[in-house]
Structures are given as structure tokens and as C-alpha cells.
């Protein structure tokens, strides 16, 4: 008896409350998953495919609950709309549009329904619009590439322990009274090989990742080279038009280390751009540059980014400190002295400087007849010289800016210390340092505004029809439904069979 009198109202209340409850649960699920990694369960039995299926299922359930709430109110209004159609003829005027609409208020055959009973048409429109819920809601929880900061341990080079030094050539060859003497640093073969690899590759060596796909900041000590124009350079002596007296051999590059009492140790470099027409250089089209490059111990501040395939370093700051020179003090046993200005750290840095100087020192000359480099052992010849040949017989030889090239090379050598490829007297010259890493991974991102807006609109419409349903039942003085048997009982005439 209770159900027959209150069943429709109980259903109105139950479907609306259940719809809102499921919407809140869906919101809580999205809030809980937001920012969590896709491939870690994080205490819940969801991975990406299961979450997508679950989200779709919840949105379909909520659509059904809201649509049913509107449908119950539609059934109550149906009997109010039919009160004025109390004859067979009048009933047909309403029944035909209803049948023609087939529940879809957008068909052409449904247009008479908007005229005969706009209330029924609007109710049908609201029921149909709930289909938008499972279309737009699932996109509120999606997978994106995100990052989170976590403690990590990164590798930093300790230049005081690698085996960068290969040999020591003493100056004068004696150790008077056992006192330290000046001697010249030579880099190990490994260091020289790495420098030449960097020259050919044009970049620093790959840095292994300590944290997968991630990024972090790091400060470490390395070497920098600062170059400035050498206005006193003697081009006629050090970069003449003819190399070793041969007019067909034109020097394009000449580099050599130098030192003076006033300026200390530096690398002197001169380059020439040249246009060759009919196998002869054009004297009016020569561009020569000379620079002095000084080496410094420097503090690097960098930002390192690792992905699945490579590493990228952004140099944030380079702060030069003391000037470096490959001539240091050694004791009677050939070990680096710990005296003022000479220590093991500077010895390692000087080995890096000397490796770069050895790779750059020498002359690159171009044979204008054979159209090739003449008698050069410098690997940089195939890196710093850009060769262009035109069909009219003109050859253009353009060199990289020496200041930029040398500074970049020294910086790449310093950054390559992070690769761990330099030989060490111990197992490794890398030390572990605590740091903060921004780890990049696939995470769930929850757009709460999108989900709440869609569910909120659906709940608002359902709540309006919930209230109208109670009003319609009160006006009808009895609950109605659209069961076939109930419809037949309520007809004011006998149906034709």
C-alpha cells in the first residue's frame, strides 16, 4: 500500500540522492588521484585503463539516475497535459505527436509536440541532454607529464682525486737543496682523448642520470677560458699569407701557448677567412682575427635535465677565480707541492687546460691547388673551418670565431667532468651529494571545475524536476506512471482494438 501511494515520490528522492552521491564520490576519486603517478598503485587498485573504465561507468550511472529523476516528473506531468484531451478525437491530437517524436524532441515529426504540449517537449529535451554527462565528464581525469620534487643523491666531480696527470717535465732538471721546483703539467692520454672527442662531437659527453627522467641544479668547480682581442698580434710573422714559403699554402689558423711576466700564461690564436678564385687567394678579401685566451679555475652553476635518451645542461653561471698555468711546483719526489699557489686541485685543472692547448696548438694551412689541408695534424681543422665551393670556381673558407669556439670547448670539457669518464687513481672521482630532484613522470591530473560544472548542471536540472514531480503529484492527487496497464486504465474512453 505504501509503495502504490508513495512509490513515485520515493523513487524521485532516491534517484536524485544517489545521483548526487555518485557525483561526490567521483569528485573525491579525482581529488585523491590528482598528482599521483600512473604506474604506481598508490594504495588503490587502479591503473590507467581501469581508471578510465571506472570513470566512464560512474558517469553513465549518474546520467541514468538524473535522467530517471526527470523521467518520473515527466510521467506525472504527462497526465496533467492530457486532461484537456478527454475525447477520442482530442486524444489523437496529442497521441500522434507523441508517437511521432519517439522520445526525441529534435526530429521533424516532434515539432507538433512543441505546439501541443511544450512542457512534455522540454522534459524530453532535458532527458536527452543528460547524454552529455558521459561524453564530457571522463576527460576531467586525464594523464599528463608532471613533476614532483624529491630528495635525491647526485654525482659531483672532485677534481683533487682523478688521475688527470700523466707526466711531469722538470724545468732545469735539478732539485737544489731538496726545494720544490717549477715543472710543466702533461695531461693523461685519457684526458687528451676526451678533449678530442668533444672537439669532434661539438658538445659535452653524456651525463648519466641519477634519478631517471628528472632535473636538478648543481654547483661544481671546473675551468673556463676567457678570450679577448690581441691588437698587438704580429700577423706577418705568425699568420703570413704563405706557409713555409709556399704561396699556394695559406695559413688559416695558428695557435701557440705563451707567457709573459706582466700577463702570465695564455693561449694565442689567430684565424683567417679567405676567398679563393681560380686557385689564388684574393688579397682584398682577407679577414684576420687574433685573440688571447686566459684559463681560470671557475665555479659553475648548472641546471641538468635528463630524459630517456639524452641529457641537457643549461649553464646558469660561471664565476672565474684564480688564473691557471700548467707550470706548478713539485717536490723532490715529483709530487705536487702543497705550497702557496700549488696544490693537487690546481694540478688537475691545469691538466685540463693543457689538454685543450695541445689539441689547439699548431697551424692549419690550406693548399689552394690541391684544395685540401696541407700537412696538418690538428683535428680541429675539420671542425672550425667551413668550406664552401661555388660552381663558378670560387672557394670560400670561413672559420669559427676563435674566442667563442675556445670558450665553448673549455666549458664542454668542464661539463664532461660530470660524465665520470675521466680516469681516477681511485674507483671514481665522483662524490655523492644530497640534492633536490624534480622527477618527471606520468601523473593523473584532475580538472575539478570541469567535473563539478557538468555534474552540478545535471544535479540542478534533476533537482528542479524533483520539485516539479512533487507538485505534479499533488495536482494529480495521485501518483501516475507510464506503464501500459496504467495508461489503459486512465483513458477516458475505450481504446479501439
Mean pLDDT for the stretch of residues 459-488? 73
Rounded to an integer, what distance in angstroms lies between the CA atom of residue 18 and that of residue 25?
10
253 vs 36, residue with greater confidence: 253
| Max Cα-Cα span within the chain | 134
Polymer length in residues for the chain:
497
Contact assessment for residue 291 and residue 226, using Cβ atoms and an 8 Å cutoff: no
Mean pLDDT for the stretch of residues 287-316? 91
Beta strand pairing call for 372-374 and 214-229:
unpaired
Q: Is the pLDDT of residue 198 over 50?
A: yes
Nearest Cα to Cα of residue 415 among 254, 300, 248? 300
Least-confidence region, from 18-32, 236-250, 275-289: 275-289
pLDDT for res 453 = 92
pLDDT for res 414 = 93
pLDDT for res 340 = 39
Mean pLDDT for the stretch of residues 408-422? 91
Q: Is the pLDDT of residue 93 over 70?
A: no
Cell reading at 80 = 496533467
Rounded to an integer, what distance in angstroms lies between the CA atom of residue 448 and that of residue 139?
11
Rounded to an integer, what distance in angstroms lies between the CA atom of residue 81 and that of residue 58?
34
Q: What integer best gives the mean pLDDT of the chain?
A: 77
Rounded to an integer, what distance in angstroms lies between the CA atom of residue 201 and that of residue 195?
10
Domain boundaries, the chain: 2-144+444-490, 159-428
pLDDT for res 101 = 43
Nearest Cα to Cα of residue 361 among 234, 444, 267, 230? 267
pLDDT confidence bin for 339, thresholds 50/70/90? very low
User: Exposed (0-12), middle (13-18) or buried (19+): which is 298, by Cβ within 10 Å?
Assistant: buried
Percent share of the chain, pLDDT over 90: 21
Q: Is the pLDDT of residue 147 over 90?
A: no
SS3 content of the chain, % helix, strand, coil (to 5): 40, 30, 25
| Sheet of strand 165-170: strand arrangement | 165-170, 181-187, 327-330
331 vs 201, residue with greater confidence: 201
pTM: 0.64
DSSP state of 336: B
Amino acid at each position: 500500500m505504501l509503495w502504490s501511494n508513495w512509490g513515485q515520490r520515493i523513487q524521485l528522492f532516491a534517484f536524485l540522492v544517489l545521483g548526487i552521491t555518485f557525483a561526490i564520490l567521483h569528485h573525491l576519486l579525482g581529488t585523491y588521484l590528482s598528482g599521483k603517478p600512473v604506474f604506481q598503485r598508490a594504495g588503490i587498485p587502479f591503473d590507467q585503463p581501469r581508471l578510465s573504465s571506472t570513470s566512464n561507468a560512474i558517469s553513465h550511472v549518474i546520467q541514468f539516475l538524473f535522467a530517471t529523476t526527470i523521467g518520473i516528473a515527466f510521467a506525472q506531468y504527462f497526465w496533467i497535459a492530457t486532461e484537456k484531451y478527454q475525447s477520442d478525437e482530442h486524444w489523437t491530437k496529442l497521441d500522434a505527436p507523441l508517437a511521432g517524436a519517439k522520445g526525441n524532441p529534435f526530429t521533424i515529426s516532434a515539432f507538433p509536440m512543441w505546439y501541443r504540449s511544450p512542457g512534455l517537449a522540454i522534459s524530453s529535451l532535458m532527458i536527452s541532454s543528460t547524454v552529455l554527462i558521459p561524453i564530457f565528464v571522463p576527460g576531467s581525469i586525464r594523464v599528463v607529464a608532471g613533476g614532483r620534487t624529491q630528495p635525491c643523491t647526485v654525482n659531483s666531480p672532485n677534481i683533487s682525486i682523478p688521475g688527470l696527470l700523466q707526466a711531469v717535465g722538470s724545468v732545469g732538471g735539478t732539485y737544489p737543496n731538496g726545494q720544490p721546483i717549477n715543472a710543466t703539467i702533461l695531461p693523461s692520454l685519457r684526458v687528451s682523448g676526451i678533449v678530442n672527442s668533444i672537439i669532434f662531437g661539438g658538445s659535452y659527453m653524456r651525463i648519466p642520470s641519477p634519478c631517471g627522467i628528472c632535473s636538478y641544479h648543481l654547483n661544481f668547480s671546473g675551468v673556463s677560458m676567457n678570450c679577448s682581442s690581441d691588437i698587438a698580434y704580429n700577423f706577418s710573422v705568425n699568420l703570413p699569407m704563405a706557409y713555409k714559403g709556399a704561396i699556394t699554402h695559406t695559413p688559416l689558423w695558428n695557435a701557440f701557448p705563451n707567457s709573459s711576466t706582466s700577463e702570465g700564461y695564455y693561449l694565442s690564436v689567430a684565424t683567417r677567412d679567405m676567398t679563393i678564385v681560380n686557385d689564388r687567394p684574393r688579397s682584398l678579401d682577407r679577414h684576420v682575427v687574433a685573440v688571447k685566451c686566459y684559463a681560470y679555475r671557475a665555479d659553475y652553476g648548472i641546471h641538468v635535465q635528463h630524459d630517456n635518451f639524452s641529457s641537457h645542461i643549461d649553464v646558469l653561471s660561471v664565476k672565474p677565480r684564480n688564473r691557471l698555468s700548467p707550470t706548478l711546483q713539485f717536490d723532490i719526489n715529483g709530487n705536487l707541492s702543497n705550497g702557496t699557489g700549488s696544490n693537487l686541485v690546481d694540478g688537475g685543472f691545469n691538466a685540463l687546460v693543457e689538454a685543450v692547448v695541445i689539441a689547439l696548438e699548431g697551424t692549419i694551412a690550406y693548399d689552394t691547388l690541391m684544395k685540401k689541408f696541407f700537412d696538418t695534424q690538428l683535428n680541429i681543422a675539420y671542425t672550425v673551418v667551413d668550406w664552401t665551393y661555388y660552381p663558378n670556381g670560387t672557394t670560400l673558407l670561413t672559420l669559427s670565431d676563435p674566442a667563442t669556439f675556445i670558450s665553448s670547448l673549455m666549458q664542454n670539457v668542464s661539463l664532461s667532468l660530470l660524465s665520470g669518464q675521466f680516469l681516477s687513481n681511485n674507483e671514481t672521482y665522483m662524490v655523492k651529494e644530497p640534492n633536490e630532484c624534480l622527477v618527471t613522470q606520468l601523473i593523473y591530473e584532475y580538472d575539478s571545475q570541469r567535473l563539478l560544472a557538468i555534474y552540478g548542471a545535471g544535479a540542478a536540472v534533476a533537482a528542479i524536476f524533483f520539485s516539479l514531480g512533487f507538485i505534479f503529484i499533488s495536482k494529480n492527487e495521485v501518483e501516475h506512471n507510464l506503464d501500459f496497464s496504467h495508461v489503459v486504465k486512465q483513458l477516458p474512453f475505450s481504446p479501439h482494438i
